[in-house]
Structure 1
Amino acid sequence: MQLRIIMADDHPVVLLGAKIIVEKGGSGLVVGQAENPEELEAILKSTPCDLLVTDFAMPNSRRDGLIMLKRLRRLHPELKIIVLTSIRNSSLILGILNLGIQGVVENNADQFELIEAIKKLPDISAILVRFFVRPWPMCPY
C-alpha cells in the first residue's frame, strides 16, 4: 500500500516538483497540497494521510517554523513529518527533531535523497548524508 502524503511549501513550483519526485519515485501518492500553514491545517482536518512533507519557513504566515511544527505535533501526534529546509543551524535542527519530527531534508538535496528519506522512515539506523531521519516513535537524546 502506498503512503498517502500531504505536501506543504509556499512555492508552487517546489510543490509540483516534489509531487512529481515522490510519485515517480514510488514513495507514495500525494493526496493534498498546501501553500501556507493555514491551508495545511484545513487539508489535514479533511484528508487522511500517513506522512506530511513540509517546508519549514513559509514567510507569508505568522505560524511557520517551530510554531507551526509544535501546533501540528499537538493536533496530529501520530502524524509522521519530514521537514524540508535550507537551515543548517544544528541547534534548530535538533529543536525540530526534539518535537518528534521524523526527518529533516535540505532543500538543495538530490531528488533521490527525498525518496530515500521517505522510504527509510521506519528504519532506526537511517541517518543519511545531508539529511537526518529519526525513528518513530520519538527516542530521547
Structure 2
Amino acid sequence: QDRMVTRSQAVDRKTDPLLERSGVVGEKIEDDTRALVKVLTEEVADDSDSIMIVAIVGVGGIGKTTLSKKVFNDEAIQGKFAKKIWLSITQVFNEVELLRTAITAANGNLPGSRGGSQDKVLLVPALADA
C-alpha cells in the first residue's frame, strides 16, 4: 500500500513546460536564465558528437522547475534547437515509458509491434532516429 501512495504522489509532482509568468519574479532568475541559455547555445569548439549535460540542483522550493521552464521557453533556445522535449522525471519512473514518451514527443516512430515498443534495446535507437 505504501508503494501506491508513493506512486500517486510521484504522478502529482510531474511538471510541464508551460510557464506561469505572473509568478516569476526576481533579477537572479533572469540572470540565471541568461547564463544557462548562453551555455546551451554556445557552439562547441570541437567537431565531436559530444553531448552536454546540465543539472539544476538544490533543495525543494528554490525555483529549479521555474528556471528550467524559462530556459526551455527562451527565444534563443527556440531558434537553436529543431526539437525540444520536456520530460518530467519523478523519483518513481519507468525507463521504457520515459523512452516511449520521448520518441512520441519527438514525432518519432515507436518500434513495430507492441512487444517491440516495450523493449528498451529497441527504443534507444528509435529515440536517436527521432
Normalised by the length of structure 2, the TM-score is 0.29
Q: Which has the higher strand share?
A: 1
Q: Which has the higher helix share?
A: 2
User: Normalized against structure 1, the TM-score is what?
Assistant: 0.28
